[in-house]
């Protein structure tokens, strides 16, 4: 079920009304949310409900067993078993074919032929998100940072909470689980803030991202047919598209959660205004980058180890991050590029010292340089395969500069290209929207919500597709 679908427009008000009719019992509210979340997830494919239920059960029981045991070896054994089972499902569904075909290609390079075993399994929506969310709970218990819950309904609802189930943010149990363990009272002010966030998220998705996707899809469909300038515009438009698409989902998720009395973590904080690549990763997909920092980077030693090992840790984290996004060498290359960017930044700081830009020109230059690197890396992300990325880069660097209007339109037509320009300008203007739609007065929130709805009605794409991060 998509946030930008008619089914969700019926589903959300129905669940909202039933939920607050049970206001005297938060346990009944939790049970209703669990049922609603499974209906929401099963809307794509009911068979995958067994997968999310199994992942929830394994981590729920593992957390209980780990906490009950006083033996260090037994605790670690349960943790390892839980990780193997949880990540095993992720590997089978998402990476098995990639690993087998890559191994067969490696053998072919060595002169040995073999036919890879390919399962061709459908990828369950959101499997990477709920797997990481469940594992963070068990790992925190194993390292004494969290006590397990005894209520399986609370835990299963925490894993499957429908606003953020499919594409995050990846919540921590320490933040979200306690909210299921206490009474919630309807807060009108919080609800209006939620509606404001929902409208802003749908605006970013349906008006900006879906409009720009018309142009981006054309350019990536056959990049060698277009000029270098058109490819540059396509790459920039994709940077706008993926931000508005993903941050739009996060805004809707946080807004819907507010309607039910919950607070989800901020997942984006104006990342394209970053003055360094490390700052970018503190602002982009915050829930994932903090997950890798806490559960991979710091356990490896973080920045408390010798310099070479610190660089090794950076590369491990970003190669894994690239692989998390997709079973393709193009995503690994995307992660490697960001690892290289951060490595260059760390080396520069080590050799020259940490010099933050002070003048306006220096800050603008730093932001521009960071965004050039980010947009270049997005080429591999959007291409999906190394071959397609190579084709796009060939078109980009062959220095074919056709600047006529029809050439720049990339086959979408002058009118649609004009709408893309408007969408890009709307994206730029949205950067100056108060963080978290934090308008000071209800009246300003009402006006902003009305403006977003009007923009969706008059400028939005009526046949918008699913969110990009549903693929991961």
CA atoms within 13 A on the CB side of 299: 11
Q: Is 378 helix (H, G, I), strand (E, B) or coil?
A: helix
Q: Which residue has the tokens 């993926």?
A: 242
For residues 236 and 256, what is the distance between their CA atoms, to the nearest angstrom?
Answer: 30
Nearest C-alpha neighbor of 397 from the set 385, 379, 382, 384: 379
72, 285, 325, 338: the active-site residue: 325
Tokens of 394: 């060939």
**Integer-rounded Cα radius of gyration of the chain:** 23
Per DSSP, the three-state class of 18 is helix
CA distances in angstroms from 1 to 183, 283, 288, listed in the order given = 28, 28, 23
How far apart, in Å, do the first and last CA atoms of the chain sit? 16
**Helix (H) or strand (E) segment spanning residue 247:** helix 228-259
Long-range contacts of 373-377 (CB under 8 A, 24+ apart): 373/277, 373/337, 373/341, 374/239, 374/272, 374/277, 374/280, 375/235, 375/236, 375/238, 375/239, 376/235, 376/337, 377/334, 377/337, 377/338, 377/341
Asked if residue 356 lies in contact with residue 348, where contact means CB atoms within 8 angstroms, the answer is no
Find all residues with CB under 8 Å of 101, minimum gap 6, and list them: 116, 118
- Can you spell out the DSSP letters for 302-363? TTSS-HHHHHHHHHHHHHHHHHHH-SSHHHHHHHHHHHHHHHHHHHHHHHH------SHHHH
Note if 285 is an active site residue.
Answer: no
Q: How far apart are CA 162 and CA 37, in angstroms?
A: 5
Alpha helices in 353-404 (DSSP H): 360-383, 386-397
Closest CA to 130 of 328, 334, 291, 327: 291
Number of H helices, E strands in the chain: 20, 0
Helix axes of 49-68 and 127-142: crossing angle, nearest 10 degrees: 10
Cis peptide before 390 (omega within 30 of 0): no
Mind telling me the catalytic residues?
Answer: 325
């Amino acid at each position: 079920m998509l946030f930008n679908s008619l089914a969700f427009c019926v589903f959300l008000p129905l669940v909202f009304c039933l939920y607050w009719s049970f206001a005297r019992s938060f346990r009944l509210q939790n049970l209703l949310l669990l049922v609603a979340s499974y209906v929401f997830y099963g809307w794509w494919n009911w068979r995958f409900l067994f997968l999310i239920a199994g992942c929830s059960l394994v981590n729920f029981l593992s957390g209980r067993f780990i906490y009950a045991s006083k033996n260090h070896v037994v605790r670690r054994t349960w943790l390892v078993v839980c990780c193997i089972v949880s990540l095993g499902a992720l590997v089978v569904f998402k990476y098995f074919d990639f690993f087998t075909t890559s191994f067969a290609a490696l053998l072919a390079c060595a002169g040995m032929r073999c036919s890879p075993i390919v399962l061709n399994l459908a990828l369950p929506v959101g499997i990477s998100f709920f797997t990481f969310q469940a594992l963070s709970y068990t790992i925190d218990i194993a390292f004494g940072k969290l006590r397990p819950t005894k209520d399986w309904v609370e835990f299963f609802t925490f894993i499957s909470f429908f606003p953020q189930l499919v594409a995050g943010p990846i919540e921590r149990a320490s933040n979200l689980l306690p909210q299921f363990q206490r009474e919630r009272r309807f807060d009108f002010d919080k609800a209006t803030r939620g509606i404001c966030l929902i409208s802003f998220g749908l605006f970013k998705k349906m008006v900006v991202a879906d409009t720009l996707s018309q142009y981006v899809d054309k350019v990536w469909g056959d990049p060698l047919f277009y000029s270098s300038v058109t490819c540059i515009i396509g790459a920039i438009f994709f940077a706008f598209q993926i931000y508005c698409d993903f941050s739009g989902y996060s805004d809707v998720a946080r807004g819907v959660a507010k309607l039910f009395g919950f607070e989800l973590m901020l997942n984006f904080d104006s990342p394209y205004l970053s003055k360094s690549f490390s700052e970018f990763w503190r602002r982009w997909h915050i829930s994932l980058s903090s997950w890798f920092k806490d559960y991979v980077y710091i356990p490896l030693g973080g920045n408390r180890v010798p310099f070479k090992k610190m660089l090794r840790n950076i590369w491990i984290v970003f190669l894994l991050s690239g692989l998390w996004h997709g079973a393709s060498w193009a995503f690994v290359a995307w992660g490697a590029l960001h690892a290289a960017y951060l490595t260059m930044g760390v080396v520069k700081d080590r050799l020259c010292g940490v010099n933050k830009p002070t003048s306006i020109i220096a800050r603008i230059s730093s932001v521009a340089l960071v965004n050039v690197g980010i947009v270049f890396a997005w080429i591999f992300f959007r291409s999906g395969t190394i071959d397609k990325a190579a084709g796009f880069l060939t078109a980009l660097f062959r220095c074919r500069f056709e600047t006529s209007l029809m050439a720049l339109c990339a086959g979408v037509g002058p009118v649609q290209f004009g709408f893309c320009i408007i969408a890009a300008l709307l994206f730029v203007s949205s950067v100056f929207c108060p963080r978290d739609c934090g308008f000071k007065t209800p009246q300003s929130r009402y006006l902003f919500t009305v403006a977003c709805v009007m923009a969706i009605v008059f400028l939005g794409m009526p046949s918008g597709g699913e969110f990009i991060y549903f693929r991961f």
